[in-house]
Amino acid sequence: MIELTGAMITVSPLHIGTGKKRGTFSETREYVPGRAIRGMVGYYLHSNNHELFKKLRIDEDSDMGKTGVFFKDALPRYVNEKDSSIIKPTVASPVSLRWCKKCKNLMKSTECSNIINGKKCLHEGKKMTGFITKDSITTRKLEKASVNKTIITKCPIIRGGHTSPGLDYELSPYHIESIPQKTKFEFRCIVEDEFVNDLKETLNEAGVFGGLGGYRSRGYGSVAFTEMKKIPVDDVINKRANELSQISNLMMVTNSPMIIRDDKKCPVIGFDSHFCDYASKTFALSGHDGVLRLKDDEHVIKQRITKGIAAGWSIKHENRVPEIIFCIGHGSCVEIDANNFKALAALEVFGVGEMTNSGYGDVYFMEGNI
């Protein structure tokens, strides 16, 4: 398989709904879920190139060993405020880390011990959500990604034309929060090598003629894909395995929501034996043998968890979301031991849990303690 990476650029304003609505205000996410990209590509192929749709098995919802493409969440890029030429990819911020509110340095305790102008900072810290650069973790200096947002008021369109404010709530003006044009996100997917060129062509066609997100009938959601690069997954795994072998204390961080369920299909919010079982399935899918062990302290697993909500896209359910699932949220952390670094690298490539072809279960490893 091939890892295909690049930039996804907003050609028009982009609204990726959070599912929460405050009155007439619709909030947008700061990233593009892999399920939205999969939905865009899947729907376009189903309508315009059904042969490729079937070859990619893009409609597979349960058995990740049958699908031919895995879409990842498109995360915002970090752009340095002082030098806009410094651009870096980002990852979900680990919830186990605490950053100083004043000097933005990584903290070891409840008070910042970093030296500023010859004196200890001594300021309090906070845990960080959202997306940061990986350099933040190694340099211990926070580089947080953020995207510009705009709010536009729209009037509903009815048969007689536009409507002005009235007593009927359904026909009142509404407010759309969106990400403006020319915003860049990091795009990544895993695809079978024989379909790489077809997928690149499909991405650009679907991004313009179909688009993604909400309010597309109002001109939102057009995207383009550039800077595309491809590298064999085996090369990605070998390089990353060598890097992981240099880390003395491994901690895994969820880079997207992760769906773990027990034998009765009940969501598991946390890392336990069910997670290890799902990890073993990814090992088998990638052709690697490995054993992953969760570290514990007096039989209590060393983890920090956030909660999230996952939703799927299914052509089998008339292009609708088939279910809403409680899941492990962004930035959740757990300390681990493993006996095969290539198998761990495969987890970073393919993900862990259910619906990894929609971007769920993406993870990365770093050195750290809970």
- SS3 of 276-342: HHHHHHHHHHHCCCCCEEECEECCEECEECCEEEEECCEHHHCCECCCEEEEECCCCEEEEEECCHH
- Could you tell me the two tokens for 229? 């690069």
List Cβ neighbours of 246 (8 Å cut-off, separation of 6 or more). none
Judged against a pLDDT cut of 80, whether residue 87 lies above it is answered with: yes
Domain end residue (candidates: 232, 267, 285): 232
User: Are both 99 and 75 inside the same structural domain?
Assistant: no
Question: Helix, strand, or coil here: 148?
Answer: coil
In angstroms, rounded to a whole number, what is the distance separating the alpha carbons of residues 300 and 319? 42
User: Are both 217 and 113 inside the same structural domain?
Assistant: no
Per the CB < 8 A criterion, the answer to whether 62 and 261 are in contact is no
Other beta carbons less than 10 A from residue 34's beta carbon: 27
Judged against a pLDDT cut of 60, whether residue 169 lies above it is answered with: no
In angstroms, rounded to a whole number, what is the distance separating the alpha carbons of residues 366 and 370? 12
pLDDT digit string, tens, across residues 131-147: 999 999 989 899 999 89
pLDDT digit string, tens, across residues 210-247: 999 999 988 999 999 999 999 999 999 999 999 999 99
Per the CB < 8 A criterion, the answer to whether 219 and 13 are in contact is yes
Give domain status of residue 141, yes or no.
Answer: no
Percent of the chain with pLDDT over 90: 68
Give domain status of residue 84, yes or no.
Answer: no
Band (pLDDT 50/70/90 cuts) for residue 83 is confident
User: Are both 119 and 50 inside the same structural domain?
Assistant: no
Give domain status of residue 135, yes or no.
Answer: no
Band (pLDDT 50/70/90 cuts) for residue 321 is low
Judged against a pLDDT cut of 60, whether residue 161 lies above it is answered with: no
CATH number at residue 24: 3.30.70
44-48, 154-158, 174-178, 349-353, range with the lowest pLDDT: 154-158
Bridge partners (DSSP) of residue 300 are: 297
In angstroms, rounded to a whole number, what is the distance separating the alpha carbons of residues 86 and 62? 40
User: Are both 117 and 160 inside the same structural domain?
Assistant: no
Give domain status of residue 335, yes or no.
Answer: yes
Give domain status of residue 346, yes or no.
Answer: yes
User: Are both 198 and 104 inside the same structural domain?
Assistant: no
User: Are both 263 and 355 inside the same structural domain?
Assistant: yes
Give domain status of residue 206, yes or no.
Answer: yes
Give domain status of residue 211, yes or no.
Answer: yes
Judged against a pLDDT cut of 60, whether residue 64 lies above it is answered with: yes
User: Are both 350 and 225 inside the same structural domain?
Assistant: no
pLDDT digit string, tens, across residues 1-18: 999 999 999 999 999 988
- Could you tell me the two tokens for 80? 């340095």
Judged against a pLDDT cut of 80, whether residue 312 lies above it is answered with: no
Q: Which domain holds residue 164?
A: 2-79+147-232
pLDDT of residue 316: 65
User: Are both 260 and 331 inside the same structural domain?
Assistant: yes
Percent of the chain with pLDDT over 70: 93
Band (pLDDT 50/70/90 cuts) for residue 322 is low
What element of type H or E holds 21? strand 17-22
Domain end residue (candidates: 204, 232, 260): 232
The C-alpha angle 18, 212, 228, rounded to 5 degrees, equals: 115
Band (pLDDT 50/70/90 cuts) for residue 314 is low
pLDDT digit string, tens, across residues 114-134: 877 778 888 888 888 899 999
User: Are both 157 and 253 inside the same structural domain?
Assistant: no
Domain end residue (candidates: 205, 232, 259): 232
User: Are both 246 and 228 inside the same structural domain?
Assistant: no
Q: How many domains does the chain have?
A: 3
In angstroms, rounded to a whole number, what is the distance separating the alpha carbons of residues 60 and 72? 16
Band (pLDDT 50/70/90 cuts) for residue 319 is low
Per the CB < 8 A criterion, the answer to whether 179 and 10 are in contact is yes
CATH number at residue 316: 3.30.70.1900
pLDDT digit string, tens, across residues 16-43: 988 777 778 889 999 999 999 999 999 9
Give domain status of residue 86, yes or no.
Answer: no
User: Are both 192 and 302 inside the same structural domain?
Assistant: no
User: Are both 179 and 68 inside the same structural domain?
Assistant: yes
